[in-house]
Amino acid sequence: MISQLEKEVTFRFLKTRKKDGFINVISIFSFIGISLGVAVLIIVMSVMNGFRSELIDKIVGFNAHAVVKPYSNKLIENSYINHQIEKTIKNVVTSNDGEGVLLNKTLTKGLLLKGYLNKDFKNLDIVLNEYFEGSKNLIEKSISIGKELSFNFNLDIGDKVTILSPSGVQTIVGTLPKQETFEISSIFDSGLADFNENVAYINLSSLENLFNHDENKRFLEFFFNDPTNIEIHKSNLQKIFPDEYVYTWSDLNKSLFSALKIERNMMFIILSLIIIVAAFNIISGLTILVKNKTRDIGILKSIGVQNYSIKKIFFLVGFIIGTSATIFGVIIGTLFSIYIENIRQFLSTIFNVSLFPEEIYFLNTMPSELNIHSILLISFCSILVTIIVSIYPAAQASKLDTVKSLKYE
């Protein structure tokens, strides 16, 4: 417990006095440094969390959340029915894929072709979004291509393209690559240029005919209501399909998200140094404060104030500076994170500079996502550092000799 005397002396030491001007300068810089460190940490963590969430939304927006592929036997498509996972499933479609080459006059382009039944294609999120152009029917001999591919090859809806398959067809002159002509029925936009340029959709029957695929090799694509808990969904699917190959969007992008996680952790460690450096100013300020308050400490001890109380008083001075700076930094960081897009637009307008170019980051707004756990962790670390650096000067204050303190004053 803190006594009334300890409270009054603590707040007295915190008040500005002319002869303590230098101490107050150090205290102000400590306050500003810790506040900036906390605010910057919150802003950076929020932006990185926002970027990660936007990236996940882009990826799961056009990819299946989980895929079940057969090794040998044909999949039993309705195996998941009457299982607990059924309640979490948004959609399940039958699919197959193959790699071919698009031929267009003098240009060629390797493509990943994904085959869907017409009824399944209509229900894909990439087809239902506002950027999809053309027919939502994917009939035989029709193809749906990405926006970037249509730009690069100067293709439009109604044009015809030839797809070359690695599967061979026997002729009188030997085995030749199989090829078929498709009419462009639609153009999609996934939001990622690489996907738009390298992936196309065709009817499932057309794909199996082009690549000589067996119907028994068809696989299932699962779309869940909440794709973020993908590891739980994967575990449930592996129980239902123990003899099949199960993989998820997370498995396909594991290296990317691992890199993002490492980068986020490193940024946290590096930016935490700002708080640590600022906190060390508290040691300087308290040490000078102890020297300047030698007479006051001597008087307090002479009237019976215990060493423990002296230590507590100076510890509270450092603790209050650090805690108030942390709270102020949390407020500034939170407000900045909430209005970061407005701030970006304002600065871009004032300085006529693009601070977040869409062609580089594939996002048209600055992403930001506040995470209460991150804020609590940052606040805890900041206050912990403040506590640690306040202990030494407080202990030194309690060790001052009463007689010597008053003798030279």
Instruction: Please give the Cα distance from 212 to 215 (Å, whole number).
Output: 9
Please give the residue that has the higher pLDDT: either 69 or 285: 69
Residues 92 and 17 in one domain: no
Window from 97-111, 177-191, 275-289, 365-379 with minimum mean pLDDT: 275-289
> Looking at the 3D structure of the chain, how many domains does it have?
2
Q: Which of 124, 95, 112, 100 is nearest to 217 (CA)?
A: 95
Please give the residue that has the higher pLDDT: either 89 or 202: 202
For residue 81, is it within any domain? Answer: yes
Mean pLDDT of 288-300: 71
For residue 278, is it within any domain? Answer: yes
Residues 211 and 265 in one domain: no
Q: Which of 189, 217, 245 is the last residue of a domain?
A: 217
Q: Write out the two tokens for 328.
A: 């102020």
pTM over 0.85: no
Residues 388 and 270 in one domain: yes
pLDDT at site 169:
65
Please give the residue that has the higher pLDDT: either 332 or 61: 332
Mean pLDDT of 353-380: 77
pLDDT digits (tens, 9 = 90+) for 242-258: 888 898 888 887 887 78
For residue 148, is it within any domain? Answer: yes
Instruction: Please give the Cα distance from 210 to 102 (Å, whole number).
Output: 13
Mean pLDDT of 374-387: 88
Residues 150 and 279 in one domain: no
- The number of beta carbons lying within 10 Å of the beta carbon of residue 204 is 25
Residues 204 and 80 in one domain: yes
3-state secondary structure the chain: CCCHHHHHHHHHHHCCCHHHHHHHHHHHHHHHHHHHHHHHHHHHHHHHHHHHHHHHHHHHHHCCCEEEECCCCCCCCCCCCCCHHHHHEEEEEEEEEEEEEEEECCEEEEEEEEEECHHHHCCCHHHHCCCCEECCCCCCCEEEEEHHHHHHCCCCCCCEEEEEEEEEEEECCEEEEEEEEEEEEEEECCCCHHHHHHEEEEEHHHHHHHHCCCHHHCEEEEEECCHHHHHHHHHHHHHHCCCCEEEEHHHHCHHHHHHHHHHHHHHHHHHHHHHHHHHHHHHHHHHHHHHHCHHHHHHHHHCCCCHHHHHHHHHHHHHHHHHHHHHHHHHHHHHHHHCHHHHHHHHHHHHCCCCCCHHHHCCCCCCCCCCHHHHHHHHHHHHHHHHHHHHHHHHHHHCCCHHHHHHCC
Mean pLDDT of 96-104: 88
Task: Count CA atoms within 13 Å of residue 77 on its CB side.
Answer: 12
Window from 4-8, 134-138, 359-363 with minimum mean pLDDT: 359-363
Mean pLDDT of 107-121: 89
pLDDT digits (tens, 9 = 90+) for 146-202: 988 998 888 899 989 999 888 766 666 556 778 889 999 999 988 777 888 889 999
Instruction: Please give the Cα distance from 246 to 309 (Å, whole number).
Output: 64
175 beta partners: 170
pLDDT at site 256:
75
Mean pLDDT of 130-150: 90
Cα distances (angstroms) measured from residue 379 to each of 197, 326, 336 = 44, 6, 16
Residues 364 and 287 in one domain: yes
- Residue 335 clears pLDDT 90, i.e. is over it: yes
Task: Give the mean pLDDT of the chain.
Answer: 81
pLDDT at site 144:
94
| Distance, C-alpha 220 to centroid of its chain | 28
Residues 304 and 338 in one domain: yes
Please give the residue that has the higher pLDDT: either 382 or 14: 382
pLDDT at site 333:
92
pLDDT at site 228:
78
Q: How confident is the model at residue 356 (pLDDT cuts 50, 70, 90)?
A: low
Residues 95 and 52 in one domain: no
For the chain, percent of residues with pLDDT exceeding 90: 12
For residue 238, is it within any domain? Answer: no
Residues contacting residue 359 through CB under 8 Å, at least 6 positions apart: none
Q: Which of 188, 217, 246 is the last residue of a domain?
A: 217
Tell me the residue range of the domain where 35 lies. Answer: 4-56+256-407
For residue 239, is it within any domain? Answer: no
- Residue 92 clears pLDDT 60, i.e. is over it: yes
Residues 197 and 285 in one domain: no
Burial class of residue 121, CB neighbours in 10 A (0-12, 13-18, 19+): buried
Mean pLDDT of 333-338: 92
Window from 109-118, 248-257, 330-339, 378-387 with minimum mean pLDDT: 248-257
Please give the residue that has the higher pLDDT: either 8 or 68: 68
Residues 213 and 284 in one domain: no
Mean pLDDT of 399-403: 63
Residues 267 and 401 in one domain: yes
Q: How confident is the model at residue 113 (pLDDT cuts 50, 70, 90)?
A: very high
Mean pLDDT of 125-143: 89
pLDDT at site 64:
85
pLDDT at site 24:
65
- Contact between 49 and 369 (Cβ < 8 Å): yes
For residue 277, is it within any domain? Answer: yes
- Contact between 102 and 153 (Cβ < 8 Å): yes
Residues 178 and 92 in one domain: yes
For residue 388, is it within any domain? Answer: yes
pLDDT at site 406:
53
Q: How confident is the model at residue 390 (pLDDT cuts 50, 70, 90)?
A: confident
Mean pLDDT of 108-130: 88
> What sign has the CA pseudo-torsion 338, 341, 347, 353?
positive
Q: Which of 187, 217, 247 is the last residue of a domain?
A: 217
- Contact between 5 and 309 (Cβ < 8 Å): yes
Instruction: Please give the Cα distance from 226 to 204 (Å, whole number).
Output: 27
- Contact between 61 and 126 (Cβ < 8 Å): yes
Cα distances (angstroms) measured from residue 172 to each of 176, 179, 295 = 10, 16, 109
For residue 231, is it within any domain? Answer: no
